[in-house]
Amino acid sequence: MIQTHPTIRLVNRNLTISLNPGFLVWQVIFPLVYIFVAGFAYTALIDSVPFGNVNLDYPAFIASGMIGFNIMNSTLVSGIIIWNDRRHGMFEQILSGPFTKSNYVLSNVFTIGILGLVSGSIILLIGFPLFFKSAEFNSLTIPFLVFASIVGSILFGSIASIISTRLKSSEGFNVIINTVFLFFAFVSTAFYPAQGAPEPLATGFYLNPLTYLVDIIRAGIFGTFTEFVILEMTVLIAAAAISFIIAIKLLTKLDL
């Protein structure tokens, strides 16, 4: 009988408990509301949005931004899984079986990577009718989108994991993680451009990694590859690497 690798078994377990109806509704219905309701409602206020050397209508702008938003949103699963495992004693039970802390850590990394790619792909397909007229696909489009999905998932998944390992009360966990991710969501270029925003809000956009994530995604879709986008990719890699290292150290130090 072929034995499945322990890490793969934990990934399967993570996906099984994560992909429930509530999660799927949150990952699909919520973005749909923003894309097709807010997107078209705000066209009365926002005629076009500049991005690089192109001008986008607002539905195209927000549909592309929601890809990055959904990638970030899906990585909340990582923190929630770790938090629930600690709260309900599952972490101890897992480590008392044929699993190590390394298996546990790797399974969370693979889980957020899979969810990031899947959720990003779903919104890409849903939003495609809105931005296909402005899209400029080329040989760098898919690499940029895959890069954004994987690096963005690792970054935000690591942040969620760090929060889940440092907090002990459920109230504190819910308040902190929701506050942090609400800041990421709305103080970014996912929903509106930085150009024209008042200071210090415009500066806050570029202290937010979600801004870099959605800018990279838009660069891939609309063909606006610039030196600034390459700089954003470098910053995103550095932030993901630092967050990932911190998360790994905290996870491996969790006590039974």
- pLDDT at position 182: 86
> Average of pLDDT values for 55-72?
87
Do residues 120 and 148 touch, judged by C-beta distance below 8 A? yes
> Average of pLDDT values for 107-127?
82
Structure tokens at 32: 């749909």
Determine, yes or no, domain membership for 190.
yes
Determine, yes or no, domain membership for 135.
yes
Determine, yes or no, domain membership for 1.
no
Please state, for a pLDDT cut of 70, what percent of the chain lies above it: 97
Mean pLDDT score across all residues of the chain? 84
Determine, yes or no, domain membership for 149.
yes
Determine, yes or no, domain membership for 77.
yes
HEC secondary structure over the chain: CCCCCHHHHHHHHHHHHHCCHHHHHHHHHHHHHHHHHHHHHHHHCCCCEEECCEEECHHHHHHHHHHHHHHHHHCHHHHHHHHHHHHCCHHHHHHHCCCCHHHHHHHHHHHHHHHHHHHHHHHHHHHHHHHCCCCCCCCCHHHHHHHHHHHHHHHHHHHHHHHHHHCCCHHHHHHHHHHHHHHHHHCCCCCCCCCCCCCCHHHHHCCCHHHHHHHHHHHHHHCCCCHHHHHHHHHHHHHHHHHHHHHHHHHHCCCC
- pLDDT at position 212: 94
Write the single-letter amino acid at 43. T
Q: Where residue 1 falls among pLDDT bands split at 50, 70, 90?
A: very low
Please state, for a pLDDT cut of 90, what percent of the chain lies above it: 14
Determine, yes or no, domain membership for 19.
yes
Q: Phi and psi dihedrals of 108, rounded to 5?
A: -70, -35
CA gap 178, 199 in Å, rounded:
24
Q: 147 is in which domain, residue-wise? A: 6-252
> Average of pLDDT values for 51-72?
86
- pLDDT at position 3: 55
Number of domains in the chain: 1
On the question of pLDDT at 237 being above 60, the answer is yes
Q: What would the pLDDT profile of 128-168 be if each residue is shown by its tens digit?
A: 887 777 788 888 888 999 999 889 988 998 898 888 888 77
